[in-house]
Amino acid sequence: MSTTAVERLAPRGTTAAHRRRVVGLCALTVALVVAGALSLAVGARALSPPEVWHGLFAAPDADRRLTEIRLIVQTVRVPRTVLAIVAGVALGVGGALIQGYTRNPIADTGLLGVNSGASFAVVSVIAVFGLSHPFQYVWFAFLGAAVAGVIVFGLASIGRGAGNPLTLALAGQGVTVFLAAMTTAVALSDKESLNALRFWNAGSVAGVGFDVIRPVTAFVVVGLLLALIMLPTLNLLNLGDDVARGLGVNIVLSRTVGILAVTLLAGAATAACGPIAFLGLMVAHVARYLTGPDYRWLVPYAGLLGAVVLLVCDVVGRLVVRPGELDAGVVVALLGAPFFAVLVWRGKFRNA
């Protein structure tokens, strides 16, 4: 094939790839709508589509049955669905970003210590101040997650291995183990803290109202904006630090802003839902399989996939042990652990 023919075919290939990615985004958006509708309809009491519609939009009436439906939909299932979408997007994008910034294909948002930092903050404030409502301790959970992320990044930025992705991973593991030990010590010394930790550590999108969801969403939006701004730079960073520096990228500034975005996303989601393991790891790998290594596409895919997977896992958790429920975090872990094992077995870990 002549050079001219190759040049003519290249734009077509690029256009075809672009079209496939756009179609994929549209398909994921449709899947998100379907999963959201299932989340509104499925539960201890199954609702038909007309009942869901009434619960969402119909005016209040004197019919006791319809009033009960409105209460179920508006006060229980809508907040639960919205939180699953917000947390799923945050954890999916955070997982893709942390793999990119550390160039570690098995990295998860827990690598920064945000899960352990939030857990330690929750049990500490419950033990010291006796807090019981999620709105009271969600702020401390977010603060603990943020402080843990800053400590990990600070430790990884000093010494001979400063800026090395491996140093960041080791610092994160060290801080995580230390905070986990402290969390256990506090929880075992206070019965209420232990009870709260058992519930919160399961990772659940249930039982949280819009008084918590609104501020959490604000932090997630800021994290998403920072992530979107840094996507072109992240592509350059994955060519290697030397190449990126030669192309004019400020390595330290880029990684600092990127890690800040991950901390906001993962910290906000963890503060509202508790730690949900494996979600960011799973969806980042699936997104990379679908889009390739271009983070301008990979990150939106990971966000949508995260929301869809968390919604589906929450719905599955409501069905498998009816009339009881499995928390979404438990279902995600049951799905994520085999996924992780398969990745190891097949040797699919590639550099992000």
CATH number of the domain where residue 24 is located: 1.10.3470.10
Mean pLDDT over 167-195 rounds to 84
Least confident of 38-42, 250-254, 298-302, 309-313: 250-254
Determine the 3-state secondary structure of 305 from DSSP.
helix
Highest-confidence segment of 4-13, 192-201, 311-320, 335-344: 311-320
Residue 162's pLDDT is 60
Residue 7's pLDDT is 39
Q: Which residue's structure tokens are 């986990």? A: 180
DSSP 162: T
Q: Give the pLDDT band of residue 5 (cuts 50, 70, 90).
A: very low
Q: Give the pLDDT band of residue 4 (cuts 50, 70, 90).
A: very low
Residue 301's pLDDT is 97
Determine the 3-state secondary structure of 158 from DSSP.
coil
Question: Rounded CA gap, 207 and 76, in Å?
Answer: 7
Whether 2 is covered by a domain: the verdict is: no
Question: Mean of the per-residue pLDDT values for the chain?
Answer: 84
Mean pLDDT over 175-194 rounds to 86
Domain that holds residue 157: 16-346
Whether 351 is covered by a domain: the verdict is: no
What is the domain count for the chain?
1
Asked if residues 180 and 123 have their Cβ atoms less than 8 Å apart, the reply is: no
Reply yes or no on whether the pLDDT at 218 is more than 70.
yes
DSSP 110: G
DSSP 169: H
Whether 7 is covered by a domain: the verdict is: no
Whether 69 is covered by a domain: the verdict is: yes
Whether 4 is covered by a domain: the verdict is: no
Whether 8 is covered by a domain: the verdict is: no
Helix-helix angle 3-41:78-102, to 10 degrees: 150
DSSP 22-63: HHHHHHHHHHHHHHHHHHHH-SSS---HHHHHHHHHPPP-S-
DSSP3 helix / strand / coil % (the chain, rounded to 5): 80, 0, 20
DSSP 228-255: HHHHHHHHHHTT-HHHHHHTT--HHHHH
Q: What percent of the chain has pLDDT over 90?
A: 33
Mean pLDDT over 219-231 rounds to 94
Residue 61's pLDDT is 66
Nearest CA among 207, 244, 219, 241 for reference residue 94: 219
Question: Rounded CA gap, 221 and 36, in Å?
Answer: 20
Whether 6 is covered by a domain: the verdict is: no
Per the model's pLDDT, the better-predicted residue between 188 and 213 turns out to be: 213
Residue 93's pLDDT is 96
Per the model's pLDDT, the better-predicted residue between 23 and 344 turns out to be: 23
Question: Rounded CA gap, 47 and 71, in Å?
Answer: 12
Question: Rounded CA gap, 64 and 181, in Å?
Answer: 50
Q: Give the pLDDT band of residue 78 (cuts 50, 70, 90).
A: very high
Query: Which two three-digit tokens encode residue 38?
Result: 């299932």
Least confident of 6-20, 92-106, 311-325: 6-20
Determine the 3-state secondary structure of 327 from DSSP.
coil
In 287-313, which positions are buried (b, 16+ CB within 10 angstroms) versus exposed (e)? bbebbeebbebbbbbbbbbbbbbbbbb
Whether 204 is covered by a domain: the verdict is: yes
Q: Give the pLDDT band of residue 351 (cuts 50, 70, 90).
A: very low
Cα end-to-end span (Å), the chain: 33
Nearest CA among 266, 301, 320 for reference residue 107: 266
Q: Give the pLDDT band of residue 205 (cuts 50, 70, 90).
A: very high
Query: Which two three-digit tokens encode residue 286?
Result: 């699936």
